[in-house]
Structure 1
């Protein structure tokens, strides 16, 4: 009498573990992009993002970000407490200011980390994260051919594992997609050791909740950052 139930559970387990193999990594990425950017607007994105970063036990940082991909322009104006910094990359040319003045002492440059390396870091950071999942089509992005099935915080996901060419980056990333809507709901990264192996006690995971449509693109309204090693909350980016 129990044999049919036993076979049923074997079948159920097998179905769950092979569910993600009914879709290829390319198909999954294409469906995710169709969900977030149905009209292919990211390539010509020209818009502003107003973001508040809430950090535990620290004052919030408010950022006004301009991204103009066709004109190769990026600018972030960030205010925390009584200080405002501005970093600009205009067709590869960098400039920065403190409280609307480009005459900045060396001490303040160091204090507020005002330099071209930092400006380019912000440009890459914001255009990458708010350009996902479309940015996974960029050259140098290596997507594992296998779609994984994972459960995270009690919810099932399709997961893409992504690495990068050596000249692009060394971290290992995982992107979690809703298996019904194909919305991107989590991403996670780990550092690697000198041999290129994943360091499981490193990196962070980022939970995306709610959405805001900007220039026809569905972007995460809230991005909450946590350490992988202990689930400690680092901060939350809120798209206003």
Structure 2
């Protein structure tokens, strides 16, 4: 009889985590994911610098030094590639651009390196969004589907949130995949038009702790259609 009771208890323990995850609301899943990645709520007041190394099959390695100072609305990006470096500096709305340490560069160089404030703002939004996940899913204009999805991706089961945005924020549909036990974010995926299976998915491996925030160490990018590999970026402390 004791063995029978122990067996029932073991089964209950083994299956309690997934069943509990299935019973959570989308808001509760997001809250647990944020607690995992940013347990002390440091993102909103982040003031730090980190490095991202991007490697792609068809282009030379690119190293980016990213600085954020959210309390002062500051952001900096210094990119080194092919023996050149260019930098953007944003401070409370102002925008400064340099190429190889100089603010004096030609129109041809500006075109070659895409040196303009519009591009700089795009890169600022890109880095602060992706490294601010899943905390950024609480931003205005972001709509988390109240339905919690359960999917298997690359032979692993996940709790999944579907996210859409106001038109001025973004037009893509995103899916965020969380481990059903720890709620660590391990995959995200987006579609421009889901019925066409376009867009990309990104596999997240490892964690790098930056100012108490657990950020993905490595992100590998693939096309949804055909699983074509696009590149990998790696986060490093400075």
TM-score (structure 1 length as normaliser): 0.89
Query: Which residue, out of 207, 210, 230, partners 2:226?
Result: 230
Shift in Å at residue 167 of structure 1? 1.4
Q: Distance in 2 between matches of 1:18 and 1:35?
A: 19
Deviations 1:192-234 (A, max 9, x none): 3xxxxx3433110000000010100000000001011111111
The unaligned stretches of length 5 or more in structure 1 are 1-14, 193-197
C-alpha separation in 1, matches of 2:66 and 2:148? 34
Identify the residue that residue 209 of structure 1 maps to in structure 2.
205
Which residue in 1 is equivalent to 2:185?
184
Give me the whole-angstrom Cα distance separating, in 2, the residues matched to 1:111 and 1:62: 17
The normalised TM-score by structure 2 is: 0.90
RMSD: 1.6
Deviations 1:20-74 (A, max 9, x none): 5401000000000000000000010011111100111321000100011111011
Counterpart Cα distance in 1 of 2:204 and 2:175: 14
Match of 1:118 in 2: 119
Question: Cα–Cα, structure 1 residues 201 and 33, in superposed 2: closer, same or farther, change >3 Å?
Answer: same
SS in 1 for 2:68: strand
Quote the residue 2:4 is aligned against: none
Residue-pair matches, total:
221
Say whether the 8 Å CA contact 1:20–1:149 is kept in structure 2.
Answer: no
Is 1:107 the counterpart of 2:103 in the alignment? no
**Which residues in structure 2 correspond to 1:1-240 (within 5 Å)?**
21-192=22-193, 198-240=194-236
Any idea what SS the aligned residue of 2:60 has? coil
- Tell me if the contact between 2:63 and 2:79 (Cα under 8 Å) persists in the aligned partners: yes
Partner deviation per Cα, 1:106-139 (whole Å, 9 max, x = no partner): 0010010000110000110000000000000000
Cα distance in 2, alignment partners of residues 24 and 127 from structure 1:
26
Would you identify which runs of 4 or more consecutive aligned residues in structure 1 move more than 3 Å? Answer: 17-21
Answer whether contact 1:191 1:203 (CA < 8 A) is retained: yes
Q: 1:78 and 1:183 mapped to 2: Cα distance?
A: 29
Give the 3-state SS of the residue equivalent to 2:32 in structure 1. Answer: helix
Give the deviation of 1:18 after TM superposition.
Answer: 7.6
Unpaired runs of at least 5, structure 2: 1-15
Q: Distance in 1 between matches of 2:205 and 2:196?
A: 25
